[in-house]
Amino acid sequence: MIIAIDGPAAAGKGTLARKLAQHYGLSYLDTGSLYRAVGCALLDAGIDPHDAKAAAAAARNLDLANIDAGNLRTAEAGEAASVVSANTQVREALLRFQRNFASREGGAVLDGRDIGTIVAPDADIKLFVTASAGERARRRWLELKGLGEDVDEARIRSEIEKRDARDQSRASAPLKMAEDAHLLDTTKLDIEAAFHMAVSLIDDARDGGVSA
């Protein structure tokens, strides 16, 4: 079974995807970490993420199977990821790895922005996870604070909104809900409630004849 999870920044996709992977015994790929790794490789080398040629080269040279996601969660990495992710050559360089991961034996859960539309359009289940901008900003603020970053919640909100607008309006694989995705609004749900709702959507879809 392939589960595709998409949605805007800080909607709770990652936590949900991890729990679903564990519940169904599937492998998990956080595709945002690939874009964050490209962005960080450039920042570490002192290169502007808007440098299209350098970004494409960084994406091609990354060891995608061995990315240390732990160092990539900063606000700066998220911003750099959003810039490089609009680069078509960067997306192309990362696509095959994601498709191979999705089709691995035993099944997989992937989360990102274009999983249900581009990476795994034939996924068995597609979830589009969202929440209000205010709630997403609050969650990202708590996450960054937990990482020791001294950040202002209003600034986080404006950065998230800017990032979502960029992700939705780019020409290459923009963030959008696949036509056959299930919408899951987590604004008023904690992670356990979102998880239970996702499990019931998935189990209903499987019982309805979708192959596992």
Find where tokens 């959507």 sit: 201
Q: Long-range contacts made by residues 45-54, C-beta under 8 angstroms, separation at least 24? A: 49/80, 49/83, 49/84, 50/83, 52/87, 52/89
Around Cβ 134, how many Cβ atoms within 10 Å?
A: 12
202: tokens are 């998935």
54 vs 111 by CB, closer to ligand C5P? 111
Q: Check binding of 85 to ligand C5P (CB under 6 A).
A: yes
142 vs 212 by CB, closer to ligand C5P? 142
Q: Check binding of 32 to ligand C5P (CB under 6 A).
A: yes
Residues 98 to 137: which contact ligand C5P by CB under 6 A?
A: 112-114
Q: Check binding of 31 to ligand C5P (CB under 6 A).
A: yes
Kindly state the helix (H) or strand (E) to which residue 202 belongs, with its residue range.
helix 191-207
Q: Check binding of 159 to ligand C5P (CB under 6 A).
A: no
Q: Check binding of 9 to ligand C5P (CB under 6 A).
A: yes
* Residue ranges that bind ligand C5P, judged by CB under 6 A: 9, 31-32, 35-36, 78, 81-82, 85, 112-114, 163, 167
